[in-house]
Chain A
């Protein structure tokens, strides 16, 4: 079983995330970054599958120099090898271009054709679009099995459970397939000391667009199909009135609702 996991390097949500003034793109250099939290669940699921049978786990990231930290974390958790796609021309890529690069990188990482299984997070913690899995599936012609909160492999098929609004659904697909996971699916492991040491010896391939055969003119800010025209920091919410309950907290709350015309 050949599993490729896509992991994204994102600005830490606890830090002051912002944009570059010059071109309205996300600031990925001036802030602390890390492996997008939900992608840890995808890595964990891949490791569990690999451990329960024969399998090799390759992690792939597309991003600037520091993005290598995202795949290193995954290697420390236990992934076998890593790919970091990095190229000046990628800066400012939109979701469609990112999915193009990822699709090519996944194929190359799997030796030229689709791997048995591609795993991704349901959404990143910065863009939070939740579109890249569907886009990559469309590009690779893979069945898309998204928002998995449980996953089982049986022979040549994959079954997931997803928790929809109106129903809990079971979805079955043949392999190869692309699965995105939620944070309900497992509890990601922390890298062990042994894992951290072992990761130092694991291979990290750095690929450029040329290595993937992707034309630089198809990606990046200028080729993007969407354009951010402006950004503005929202004034922080001003703290309103805080009362301490002295036996009338509920009544005061209702008075506030009434004054604001909610009743």
Chain B
């Protein structure tokens, strides 16, 4: 069976959910192998095997992650050259897409980003993308080289499928060119204890309507175990970090449930949340465009509606 490579997304060896999703998808196409770059491969190997990795290619020299994406693309390219895989699956986040981009040029292979589904079709690997702010669904295939596909998180339910997970070390000498853009400082963000925005199955976002008080938004989010997002207006005002911005220039999220509180629904915001399965809005203005998208909407003040909903949710869960 053809080999399908999955680039592992992890934090210090701890596998992100997106990786398990990619392994689940890879099994539909062929035999999954994981490519792991970074420290603590032993920890990762256990999880990767559990989700179906037959092989785990490991590059654990410390240099790869000290620079922006180029070294990772070189390492992955060397595995592609060695294994001639049918497809390479990569998480569709900003770094993943750039690794996919460089890999595509290097190996002369077609690349598709932001896929929400990947199947083995009549013409090979067939992807589904949701484009133009979710208004069109596009199916595409790769016609040259390995199919390099960046897949969005939350695209499939994960299924364990234990496999060998045999470790194979990768030896690559990184080029000087790949080591040109060096990360000289990294200030970690304070952990919030909430799920990661793009992986969360529920996202509660606040906008300008919060007036800078995200308290009710956070409390409602916590009652649901949700991640917290923000509109650009709220981010620009300095009320919430940019890494929590949802939209065209922020994160593209596709959770089971998206709640927009005090957000008008500008096209750039929609671009980041329109593919959510269920959408709820709370807005004072019944004419707000966000209401065009909702499954359920409350015309009202978020400062009274959200606390009441929070109490009711807590009661229902107790």
Tell me if B221 counts as interface (CB < 8 A to partner A): no
Q: Are A145 and B271 in contact (CB under 8 A)?
A: no
Residues of A200-239 contacting chain B, CB below 8 A: 224-234, 236-237, 239
Tell me if A174 counts as interface (CB < 8 A to partner B): yes
Q: Are A130 and B132 in contact (CB under 8 A)?
A: no
Contacts A230-B138, A234-B134; A171 near B68 (Cβ below 8 A): yes
Tell me if B100 counts as interface (CB < 8 A to partner A): yes
Identity of the chain A residue whose Cβ is nearest the Cβ of B105 in the assembled complex: A138
Other-chain contact of A242, B101, B202, B294, B316 (Cβ < 8 Å): B294
Residues of B87-139 contacting chain A, CB below 8 A: 93-94, 97-102, 104-106, 108-114, 123, 126, 130-139
Other-chain contact of B316, A142, A229, A263 (Cβ < 8 Å): A263
**What mask results when residues 70 to 103 of chain A are scored 1 for a CB within 8 Å of chain B, else 0?**
0000000000000000000000001110010000
Q: Are B141 and A131 in contact (CB under 8 A)?
A: no
The minimal Cβ–Cβ distance linking A196 to chain B, given in whole angstroms, is 26
Tell me if B317 counts as interface (CB < 8 A to partner A): yes
Contacts A165-B243, A249-B304; A228 near B138 (Cβ below 8 A): yes
- Kindly name the residue among B180, B202, B299 whose own CB sees the greatest number of chain A CB atoms within 10 A: B180
- Kindly name the residue among B126, B294, B297 whose own CB sees the greatest number of chain A CB atoms within 10 A: B297
Q: Are B248 and A125 in contact (CB under 8 A)?
A: yes
Tell me if B2 counts as interface (CB < 8 A to partner A): no
Which residues does chain B contribute within 8 Å of A255, judged by CB atoms? 312
Which residues does chain B contribute within 8 Å of A177, judged by CB atoms? 180-181
Cα–Cα distance between A168 and B249 once the two chains are bound (Å): 17
Q: Are B182 and A231 in contact (CB under 8 A)?
A: no
Number of B positions contacting A (CB below 8 A)? 96
Tell me if B189 counts as interface (CB < 8 A to partner A): yes
Residues of B296-318 contacting chain A, CB below 8 A: 296-301, 304-313, 316-317
The minimal Cβ–Cβ distance linking B264 to chain A, given in whole angstroms, is 14
Q: Are B249 and A144 in contact (CB under 8 A)?
A: no
Q: Are B97 and A226 in contact (CB under 8 A)?
A: no
Cα–Cα distance between A84 and B169 once the two chains are bound (Å): 47
Cα–Cα distance between A183 and B232 once the two chains are bound (Å): 10
Cα–Cα distance between A67 and B311 once the two chains are bound (Å): 54
Contacts A122-B249, A254-B316; A130 near B98 (Cβ below 8 A): yes
Q: Are B316 and A237 in contact (CB under 8 A)?
A: no
Which residues does chain B contribute within 8 Å of A109, judged by CB atoms? none
Contacts A95-B101, A129-B113, A166-B188; A241 near B296 (Cβ below 8 A): yes
Which residues does chain A contribute within 8 Å of B241, judged by CB atoms? 163
Interface segment, one of B46-54, B154-162, B278-286: B278-286
**What mask results when residues 137 to 157 of chain B are scored 1 for a CB within 8 Å of chain A, else 0?**
111111111000000000000
Cα–Cα distance between A112 and B278 once the two chains are bound (Å): 53
**What mask results when residues 114 to 138 of chain A are scored 1 for a CB within 8 Å of chain B, else 0?**
0000000011011011111111011
Cα–Cα distance between A164 and B137 once the two chains are bound (Å): 29
Tell me if B234 counts as interface (CB < 8 A to partner A): no
Other-chain contact of B123, A13, A165, A229, A244 (Cβ < 8 Å): A229
Q: Are A145 and B181 in contact (CB under 8 A)?
A: yes
Tell me if B75 counts as interface (CB < 8 A to partner A): no
Tell me if B1 counts as interface (CB < 8 A to partner A): no
Q: Are B307 and A250 in contact (CB under 8 A)?
A: yes
Tell me if A52 counts as interface (CB < 8 A to partner B): no
Other-chain contact of B101, A125, A131, A227, A262 (Cβ < 8 Å): A131
Tell me if B224 counts as interface (CB < 8 A to partner A): yes
Q: Are B102 and A252 in contact (CB under 8 A)?
A: no
Question: Could you list 20 A-B pairs, sorted by A, with CB under 8 Å?
Answer: A13-B133, A18-B136, A130-B94, A134-B99, A138-B102, A138-B105, A144-B98, A149-B242, A166-B188, A167-B188, A170-B185, A225-B104, A225-B142, A225-B145, A226-B143, A230-B138, A234-B130, A250-B308, A254-B316, A263-B316
| Beyond A128-B271, A147-B94, A225-B144, 5 additional pairs, beta carbon < 8 A | A144-B70, A239-B291, A250-B306, A260-B278, A262-B202
Query: B interface vs A, CB < 8 Å?
Result: 11, 68-70, 73, 93-94, 97-102, 104-106, 108-114, 123, 126, 130-145, 177, 180-189, 196-197, 202, 224, 232, 241-243, 248-249, 256-257, 267-268, 271, 274, 278-280, 282, 286, 291-301, 304-313, 316-317
User: Which 5 pairs between the two chains have the least Cβ-Cβ distance?
Assistant: A250-B308, A245-B300, A225-B110, A143-B180, A254-B312
